[in-house]
Structure 1
């Protein structure tokens, strides 16, 4: 059964010979190790660079000094910059990046479409609308996560309803429905923004919508960690079932899996992770689309490897983007701008490479 589950995104791929199994099993493990090492290196670099530079060796000593009795060789100002200013931001970038990358990997596997993501399906736009409504009332914290979650779920329900209304429930209709729903919720976000007070409410709403980790603190780390970690744990525990689900509903049902129930569980987790990310960082697009494809280029299409690898690479990717946002210019750039600059050209290339699979299969 293992070999038949190895290619959920391209189920028509020919089965590989067993003689090649050993090196291919080692390759994902090596890739996971490299992604983890990359995350550590990028995180240490993010803690070290900025307007006040801290030597990387002192960064490591400060971190290790929290659990080991090391002699203090660092200055008090260095400790404050690392532990109180930059560490919450790096932790938040790790959590949000891992969550967004995981949502992209899951939606692409569930819909068996390489162009699917929480952004393309309108979930991010729905979550941003729910979050803006909460911000308009002046309430934040956990309520912001709840509002963003309800908005994301509402968008997802509408998209699935549009797809079910069309005979055959085409996967292409899900993408098109997501585009329409995303545009609708973006329009409602614009309307709420228009009605907001231009002096007290509008600046915070606009800054939040552009995506930023500038206001990171340990309380926001906890707010993001709860929904993303809980939903991520559920998704990772079910990652082997994604391989079966990607084979088609009939094959999945014959193996004892209820496809509709499994999709409901997975997509609810996607909505919750998206809501947690949007609530603390605003709308950061393209991460869920770009990162899973980069992972598949390295480790293949087995979701048992793709999902954890996407978490690691997504975390490192967003830490890198956030570090660039606060260091490339004197004024901090919103994360949404940088991720769009990188993600949009990648999406165009992806469309060109998959145009026959997208349009030919539904002609």
Structure 2
């Protein structure tokens, strides 16, 4: 795990140096040293702008989003005792997507649109959870079925917004946003993503040992003294906060929350005391690599959601052939 952390730090440093305007490591360390010395007058203004206004926000966002989606995926895979679930199973991504589409349709501005997406993601999962309470026998099945239903409704609403949107301006904006991207991330956006993601990660780290008991089944967890209802609610709340915050800034990024927990279990086993933090580190590293590819491999930036699907799907097929799932 320590090696993963060290590799992530090295990758973050490398990410600052690559791009359409390359910054040599010497210039980067000179800039960092000047910050500590309180003297940045000798640093070219374009380097300061590129590092602080362009690369730093998207690198920080990539690390937080990758970690959050991966931990969210591991949480849900433990909660539902199913390795095939992902963070959008309860409708958070679809709800946030509808909120963003609505904001873009009414041209509400980037900040307002992001906040609306975050709010709608939380609303979607809240509705899912309230509907699932009607299932008296199998609450887990109730959550899954309610999530599928609410998610489908919000997906239909997204399609309706796209249908009536202006085809020259609004529709392309909605379509591009739904593909997922970190290109528009600014320093101000970090205020919306860092607090809820940090809170969600802290809750997940506190609950990580209880995840092992949840995988054994509800009755076994109860006999071990775990308040399953409270733990289940905390898992749903923390995962919803992380997923909604990520989608509100980056758009829909698939596969990260599905495949990264599998690789984490390959590395550290099935003990969620190690799976949860490992998922965060591997997810942050994975998404940062994908973002570096997205902004350097072609003349125009590739939406990150396309790359995660293009790379994630074959990786998942590899896991299926390697491990097999009954």
TM-score (norm 1): 0.80
Q: Which position in structure 2 is the counterpart of 1:9?
A: none
Distance in 2 between residues matched to 1:293 and 1:63, nearest whole Å:
36
Please give the residue correspondences for 1:342-361 in structure 2 after superposition, counting only pairs within 5 Å.
342-351=311-320, 353-356=323-326
Offset at residue 177 of structure 1 (A): 6.3
The answer on whether the counterparts of 1:93 and 1:315 sit within 8 Å (CA) in structure 2 is: yes
Unaligned runs of 5+ in 1: 1-31, 357-363
Unaligned runs of 5+ in 2: none
Please give the residue correspondences for 1:218-297 in structure 2 after superposition, counting only pairs within 5 Å.
218-297=187-266
The answer on whether the counterparts of 1:58 and 1:73 sit within 8 Å (CA) in structure 2 is: no
> Of 95, 105, 111, which residue of structure 2 is paired with 1:141?
111
Q: Which position in structure 2 is the counterpart of 1:4?
A: none
Distance in 2 between residues matched to 1:317 and 1:125, nearest whole Å:
23
Q: Which position in structure 2 is the counterpart of 1:100?
A: 69
| Partner SS for 1:67 | helix
Aligned residues: 324
Deviations 1:276-321 (A, max 9, x none): 0011111111110111111111111211111112112211111111
Q: Which position in structure 1 is the counterpart of 2:96?
A: 127
Please give the residue correspondences for 1:158-173 in structure 2 after superposition, counting only pairs within 5 Å.
158=128, 161=131, 165=135, 168=138
Distance in 2 between residues matched to 1:90 and 1:127, nearest whole Å:
22
Offset at residue 58 of structure 1 (A): 2.4
Is 1:212 the counterpart of 2:187? The answer is no
Q: Which position in structure 1 is the counterpart of 2:79?
A: 110
Please give the residue correspondences for 1:1-12 in structure 2 after superposition, counting only pairs within 5 Å.
none
Distance in 2 between residues matched to 1:184 and 1:42, nearest whole Å:
40
For residues 149 and 309 of structure 1, do their structure 2 counterparts lie closer, same or farther at Cα, with a shift above 3 Å needed? farther
For residues 107 and 83 of structure 1, do their structure 2 counterparts lie closer, same or farther at Cα, with a shift above 3 Å needed? same
Q: Which position in structure 2 is the counterpart of 1:335?
A: 304
Is 1:85 the counterpart of 2:43? The answer is no
Q: Which is further off, 234-243 or 318-327?
A: 234-243
Offset at residue 329 of structure 1 (A): 0.5
Distance in 1 between residues matched to 2:38 and 2:309, nearest whole Å:
44
Distance in 1 between residues matched to 2:145 and 2:305, nearest whole Å:
22
Distance in 2 between residues matched to 1:285 and 1:318, nearest whole Å:
11
